[in-house]
Amino acid sequence: RPRADQACRRSAAFTRTLFGGNVAAIVSQAGDLGETEMQIVAREVAASVTGFLVPAGEADFGVRFFTPMQEIDMCGHGLIALCRRLVDMGKVELQAAATVEKTIWTKAGVVPVIISPEGDFPLVMMGQAPPVFRSGDLDRDALYQALGLRAEQVAPDLPLEFASAALEHLFVAVRDRAALAGLQPDCSLLTQTSNDIGVVSIAVLTLDTTDPAATVRCRDFCPAAGIPEAAGSGTTNSALLCYLVRNGALSWPQ
């Protein structure tokens, strides 16, 4: 088996800044590691997610994702980190002003990616299936207590709604950024609530932003998967965009 320092690298997605973005670990020489060993490695590495390069089947590459607590079917920032690692390893070769199209097998399905050079960093664009929205039984008082949220802080014009994409999400819109910043979730209660309603993440959002380049501010809580709060999420943000369009907060260009 490869030594850990030869096989495992950390990478931060969604950033060009050192110590910014969302950190993932990539094990590029998983060898014959089994599921139990992968989970042990992920727990030891203690990144929000660790991706293991595995045989791809019908795709160009394959990956399995583990949080410190469990395996998850898909991870957006982990997949982007994997693509960067593949470029660094020379398994994906980039040329100036050219794009490369690849497919990556995950337990959520085969994900198409487009990788192109952008300065010193590869730009990775990944495709995702449209989410399926649903309603469900929800104890709002228990949810608000777990989040440290008051009922009057919830936005009246956007619904609490479940979305099933690569992962299961619940979206909760609040009135303003003060309500979002002031959340003090109880991790134990939020884990129980997440398990009770069958979601991996509870994303709390507001359209009240100070950055003119930002449409929405969001905090993504995933304690049921061993991630108290994600710094950034590709799967959540993809479903979030569809949630905003679906509920009239954004218009889709014709």
pLDDT of 16: 66
pLDDT of 2: 42
pLDDT of 247: 94
pTM above 0.95, yes or no: no
Structure tokens at 180: 């979002």
Structure tokens at 189: 């209660």
Q: How far is CA 213 from the centre of its chain?
A: 21
pLDDT of 53: 94
pLDDT of 197: 93
Give the chain's residues under pLDDT 50.
Answer: 1-6
pLDDT of 5: 46
pLDDT of 76: 87
3-state secondary structure the chain: CCCHHHHEEEEEECCCCCCCCEEEEEECCCCCCCHHHHHHHHHHHCCCCEEEEECCCCCCEEEEEECCCCEECCCHHHHHHHHHHHHHCCCCCCCCCCCEEEEEEECCEEEEEEEEEECCEEEEEECCCCCEEECCCCCHHHHHHHHCCCHHHECCCCCCEEEECCCEEEEEEECCHHHHHCCCCCHHHHHHHHHHHCCCEEEEEECCCCCCCCCCEEEEEEHHHCEEEECCCHHHHHHHHHHHHHCCCCCCCC
Give burial (CB, 10 Å; 0-12/13-18/19+) of 251: exposed
pLDDT of 1: 43
pLDDT of 6: 47
pLDDT of 209: 92
Q: Distance from first CA to last CA of the chain, Å, rounded? A: 53
Rounded Cα–Cα distance for residues 9 and 35 (Å): 19
